[in-house]
């Protein structure tokens, strides 16, 4: 059933390879859940924490959000798009936002720029799926 839905054999793979690839991808991406909050739990130009509240709450909120969104979007990419691609936050972009942009703007303005970037990536992914 899995082979038929995901076309594993047709794509030149096996179920074992896909499971090993999934485990490797999970461990490769797991560091993001720990590192992303440490990067984004910095302050903006007004001294407010990017995640809101105090630093401890900011770290917890960003970690939970990172794990939830990465897990949900990766499952959707596999189940709906039938494309084996893990989706998570880009640490390069997060570091740039936290260090360069958020220091010179409010956290809301910085996250607005991240939202715009996310919409552009979504458009590119949808183009890949439908065209």
* pLDDT tens per residue across span 41-87: 766 667 776 656 677 777 888 888 888 988 898 899 888 888 888 88
Compare 99 and 26 and report the one with higher pLDDT: 26
- Angle CA(110)–CA(115)–CA(118) in degrees, nearest 5? 130
| 86 token code pair | 């893990």
Q: Which domain holds residue 37?
A: 2-130
| 8 Å CB contact between 77 and 87 | yes
State how many domains the chain has: 1
- Asked which of 20-24, 51-55, 113-117 is least confident by mean pLDDT, the reply is 51-55
Mean per-residue pLDDT of the chain: 82
């Amino acid at each position: 059933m899995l082979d038929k839905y995901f076309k594993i054999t047709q794509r030149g793979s096996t179920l074992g390879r896909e499971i090993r690839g999934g485990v490797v991808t999970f461990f490769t991406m797991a560091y993001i859940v720990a590192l992303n909050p440490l990067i984004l739990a910095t302050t903006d130009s007004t001294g407010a924490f990017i995640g809101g509240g105090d630093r401890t709450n900011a770290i917890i909120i960003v970690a939970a959000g990172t794990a939830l969104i990465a897990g949900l979007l990766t499952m959707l990419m596999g189940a709906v798009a039938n494309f084996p691609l893990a989706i998570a936050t880009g640490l390069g972009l997060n570091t740039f936002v936290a260090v360069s942009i958020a220091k010179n703007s409010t956290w809301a303005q910085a996250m607005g720029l991240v939202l715009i970037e996310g919409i552009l990536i979504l458009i590119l992914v949808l183009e890949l799926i439908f065209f």
